[in-house]
Amino acid sequence: MQLLLATTNDGKIRELRKLFEGLDIEVLSLKDLEDKIEVEEDRQTFLENAIKKAKEYALYYNMPVIAEDSGLVIDALNGYPGVYSARFYNIEFGGKFDIEGLSKDEKNIQKVLKLMENERNRSARYVSVVVFYSPEGFGIFSEGVCEGEITDKPIGNMGFGYDPIFKPLGFDRTMAQLTVEEKNKISHRGKAFYKLKEKLTKLFS
Amino acid sequence: MQLLLATTNDGKIRELRKLFEGLDIEVLSLKDLEDKIEVEEDRQTFLENAIKKAKEYALYYNMPVIAEDSGLVIDALNGYPGVYSARFYNIEFGGKFDIEGLSKDEKNIQKVLKLMENERNRSARYVSVVVFYSPEGFGIFSEGVCEGEITDKPIGNMGFGYDPIFKPLGFDRTMAQLTVEEKNKISHRGKAFYKLKEKLTKLFS
């Protein structure tokens, strides 16, 4: 079976490919396709964004698709960055934070640290929703959560996104100090994906 | 297993209970629960409405839920009534149509017939999305379509909704002239549900 991962994010491709090892599935990503379409992630929830992506890609390319939407939910920021996690630096909430010379990840992180300055409640969670959609009009989705807290400064250089400032519950390292294998075991995306993989394996065996 | 059907629509309860016959599942409906919550169906697609309902009910009642959203999509009306099917008579599109003494179904039907007067393209389809959501953060959904056309006048008194003016492709009777068994075999809801049931049976056996 061919399966399309609906992402161009190298970090996610790396993590998802790793999770598919050992299954008889040819995993493509949007990077392998020449004819590309854009799907706007304009919904209010991770689940709705992920389903919208999975369905539009599956119907366009006529193959099963796995799409993911995820983000960081910070209690003290009323749930922000949330569905805006990837472009948090550039939205109105909390003021735009477009510092020249920094990567998108760095700008997002700096904005969070600025808004969280002097904030004592540092609890947060990474949330991931993974969706499988088949063009026959059928889909499965699963949600994964990783509880943790926001650090005072970035630590570590593995992972991506907010990993350098997110310390998972029960760890004394940030997500950016974990190997891909360690991260997949406890991460939101890992949990969501393992649940989905278990169901897919049952359905397709 | 207890399963909640997230609907108070007698027609849907009747059809869904019939489809569950023979499975070891205790099927409840919102009518069996004393503590009721309202979930607003404010999304732009059947899929998003159904998922929103399933998830909110599942998390509130802490049990697996099956929710459905469905409607009539008429090509000559740019896809209307669509997600507004249940309250089409009362929306701005095409003018409000609140005739005293008629039931909601009758008002909706009269509005469609009025808007379709002299319209030669009568092609339409019933679309249904059925969603299973489990509070553990996992869900399945399936979509079913029944192609057909809009008649010139209501015929038949079985079924509900737009059934009296919807003639399924290949039939010379309207949906309102079919028995529940006949309807479940060819209907949008029947197709969506059978697909879902097949997957659920695999997952829970």
B59 contacts in chain A (CB < 8 Å): none
- A128 contacts: CB under 8 Å, gap ≥ 6: A46, A68, A69, A70, A143, A144, A145, A187, A188, A189, A191, A192, A193
Nearest CA distance, A143 vs chain B (angstrom): 5
From the list A24, A35, A42, A69, the catalytic residue is A69
Q: What is the mean pLDDT of residues B117-146?
A: 96
Q: What is the mean pLDDT of residues B93-108?
A: 92
- A194 contacts: CB under 8 Å, gap ≥ 6: A19
Calpha distance B126→B171 (Å, rounded):
15
Contact B139 A138 (CB under 8 A): no
Each residue's pLDDT tens digit, A21-35: 777 788 899 888 888
Positions of chain A with pLDDT under 50: none
Each residue's pLDDT tens digit, B37-53: 888 888 999 999 999 99
pLDDT, position A36:
83
Q: Is a pLDDT exceeding 80 seen at residue B21?
A: no
| Domain edges within chain B | 2-204
Each residue's pLDDT tens digit, B59-85: 999 999 999 999 999 999 999 999 999
Q: Is a pLDDT exceeding 80 seen at residue B204?
A: no
Mutate to test the interface with B, among A133, A142, A197 (most CBs of B within 10 A): A142
Q: Calculate the average pLDDT of chain B.
A: 92
A49 contacts in chain B (CB < 8 Å): none
Q: What is the mean pLDDT of residues B80-103?
A: 94
Q: Taking CA atoms, what residue in A is nearest to B141?
A: A139
> Which two tokens mark B160?
């509900």
Nearest CA distance, A163 vs chain B (angstrom): 23
Position B167 confidence tier, pLDDT thresholds 50, 70, 90: very high
pLDDT, position B205:
67
Mutate to test the interface with B, among A51, A56, A129 (most CBs of B within 10 A): A51
Architecture label for domain A2-204: Alpha-Beta Complex (3.90)
Chain A residues in contact with chain B using a Cβ-Cβ cutoff of 8 Å: 43, 47-48, 51, 55, 136-145, 192, 195-196, 199, 202-203
pLDDT, position B12:
75
Contact A105, A43 (CB under 8 A): no
CA distances to A81, A85, A132, A162 from A77, rounded to whole Å, are 8, 12, 31, 15
Nearest CA distance, B100 vs chain A (angstrom): 38
User: Which residues pair with residue B133 across a beta bridge?
Assistant: B65, B139
Q: Taking CA atoms, what residue in A is nearest to B44?
A: A43
From the list B69, B75, B105, B163, the catalytic residue is B69
* Active site annotation includes A42: no
Pairing verdict, β B26-29 and B123-134: unpaired
A144 contacts in chain B (CB < 8 Å): 137
pLDDT, position A205:
67
Q: Taking CB atoms and an 8 Å cut-off, how many pairs form between chains A and B?
A: 56
B195 contacts in chain A (CB < 8 Å): 136-138
pLDDT, position A37:
87
* Model pTM score: 0.86
pLDDT, position A22:
75
Contact B48, B127 (CB under 8 A): no
Q: Is a pLDDT exceeding 90 seen at residue B170?
A: yes
Backbone angles phi, psi at A125, to 5 degrees: -145, 145
